Chains A and B, each alone.
Chain A
């Protein structure tokens, strides 16, 4: 079975510095990831979810959108006709119209960087590791492992309640 690689967000680590946005912009000319502000200084960076059952992929009439070997919903600019069907189908409003080239533009998990064995630019930059990249289940197993370890060490120290705050 093919691995599904994703950018995963641990939003508690985010400090809203927008390094991800700037790194994306420096790589692609336009930022395809955005940091949203919530009350009490909570911030959430948001990029294409690269959905497992991606509606954009299903509705693209020219095959410009495709699933690449890392599981990213990638994009062939030569095939795109700018019909906006992907934008209509996307529940998050991710694909945007590139005004200059009259085709769509979206996150491709930095296909060029991945081809050179590098992390996506936003993940490379993220100072707090709020953004991480890898096989999604590996990322999630690590997260679960860490949380269980936290609970365990808190229980051992008799700080049951504090563990939930750390979560």
Chain B
């Protein structure tokens, strides 16, 4: 009955906090804070971290493979054996491949499974001959990521979090780290402000938890941030505040950028965004004058014009020289603990695990040599287009740990599309809203029930270890992939008996992770910063001398104003946006099964400004109907100054996506998840 302290990485957000799971006989008895190692969290945890093992003991855990017996979406299943489940899946895959070709099969990997597991999902999809591969992160960083890749050649965080403490200016733009990443906020942002005298600016239509530290809070209408960013570029260039030496030495394309933004004055942006022009000028001058750590997240990413906004902001970072040195910060900030695990193992319809393109013959040949089988050379479909093509180009889908019935835009449409699939496999820890549409549901082990590798928002690669036994017949995702591959006759390519063996293969296939070996990570719980080319080597600050572009320069991109796909009109006069609560995580699959969280954050609600509330005859606590062209939901109203006039806002964890818009950006495929036109009315209870 000896207690074991098992070192684990926290399973929620991407800060990469460590703690110990106190394990007795395969059960987690409690957690203990890790004050022993130089970890990113310095021992600290947020409420989700503290409560993080509660959900694994939920009686609702899946314990046996399930086969659908009712209608799709009805949630009626019968328990079957693993042998039968594998047999059915393998037969169906063969049948669909023969009838429609491998391009009718789509795989969804996950930001919630380990690096090793994402790698195996990727390998299995390619071994079956399909590049229809994506993950729900498509709706996360896929504005900022391609934009920064276009300009800097890499989208990852430029600096470690410790550099945030040295910044002179903190800009929080469409991000709410005080709720979504409280340990990061408390240990780095607060210290910069309260202890080191940094100034803070918040750009958000809502007052977020951290805004009390801000010297300036500007509140654009959702989806109009691009106008502000363009105006800031205009100010910095026309007032000649940019870093001339940096622009000269380290960038190309300044002339075109200057030309592109010359008409976007702060006065123009004020008309579009509702933000006073003087405030836009102030923020632009601050960013140009101070060492800036700039944090953006879903308020910036989750728009159809998010890519243009991300380009504009990355241009701004580049021309003000706030990159490639200490004391600054910018980059993608994934929502999940393993967002980078999917991204860095090449989970995308056009990528190889090495990060190179499937259309690159030489790069493909290199991976073919390492893997020993042929890899398809065509670009597959992204998540939204997979959904669009269900029942047409896509006949079968294999979803590992994703809940698209709730997380994808326009939920009602998604659920209708799911019904059109001929065959759906969902591998998860609970019977999610998506699993209810599955033909076969496979019970997976949770994060604490397996060993594997996680990659945090600051590029920290860390190992997490098995602390509990999975309940019933649930198995870790990597093992399910290995056993299914065997059933499919692909066993020779999937000879793994432990996640260490998968990681060793990754060390040899993906050069950026060559040094992140099982042995090195076991000896160094605090991990290494990728690129870690050799054990013991890591790269804390990126782009110090060159960018990852072909010529080493930052490629400034001209950007034009682009309207959001839907704007308020007479029929739907309000902007509707959404936000996150500290006590819940994404579609609540895990957090609603955590009693300590669920009881503190029990309900959804809609925030409405007192001026709008009066206009529509709504009082605090009234039941209201929030409606868009896609659907409506009933929620309680919270009348508050913490959302600007003309905007209503709901937490997204519950029903928000019944209201959002499945229109996407032509290049990034990002959907409009954050700014839609809505109306609100009081409902008699």
Contact = CB atoms under 8 A, between A and B. Distances in A.
Answer whether A and B are interacting partners: yes
Contact of B190 (A13, A19, A162, A166): A13
Contact of A15 (B31, B44, B210, B642): B210
A142 to B, nearest CB: 12
A43 to B, nearest CB: 8
B51 A17 contact: no
Interface in A28-73: 40-42
Contacts of A18: 47, 582-583, 600
B390 interface: no
B33 A125 contact: yes
B190 A22 contact: no
A25 interface: yes
A79 interface: no
A134 interface: no
B178 A13 contact: no
A129 B50 contact: no
Interface residues of A, number: 31
B185 A128 contact: yes
Interface string A105-131: 000000000000011000011111110
Given A13-B190, A26-B31, A127 B209 contact: no
A15 B213 CA distance: 10
Given A17-B582, A125-B50, A41 B211 contact: yes
B363 interface: no
A127 B600 contact: no
B600 to A, nearest CB: 6
A21 B209 contact: no
A16 interface: yes
B336 interface: no
Given A22-B596, A41-B642, A166 B211 contact: no
A40 B600 CA distance: 20
A126 B50 CA distance: 10
Contacts of B87: none
Nearest to A129: B186
Contact of B45 (A119, A125, A162): A125
A124 to B, nearest CB: 4
B75 interface: no
A16 B600 CA distance: 12
Nearest to B185: A15
Given A26-B31, A125-B33, A125-B44, A19 B50 contact: yes
Nearest to B582: A17
B194 interface: yes
Interface in B194-217: 194-195, 197, 207, 209-212
B46 interface: yes
Given A15-B185, A127-B44, A127-B187, A42 B212 contact: yes
A126 B642 CA distance: 25
Interface of A: 12-13, 15-19, 21-23, 25-27, 40-42, 118-119, 124-130, 146, 150, 153-154, 162, 166
29 contacts: A13-B194, A17-B47, A17-B178, A17-B182, A19-B45, A19-B50, A19-B182, A22-B47, A22-B51, A22-B596, A22-B597, A22-B600, A26-B31, A26-B50, A27-B30, A41-B212, A119-B33, A124-B33, A124-B43, A124-B45, A125-B50, A127-B44, A127-B185, A128-B182, A128-B185, A128-B186, A130-B186, A146-B195, A166-B197
The 5 A-B pairs with the shortest beta carbon distances in the complex, nearest first, are A128-B186, A127-B186, A22-B47, A127-B183, A17-B182
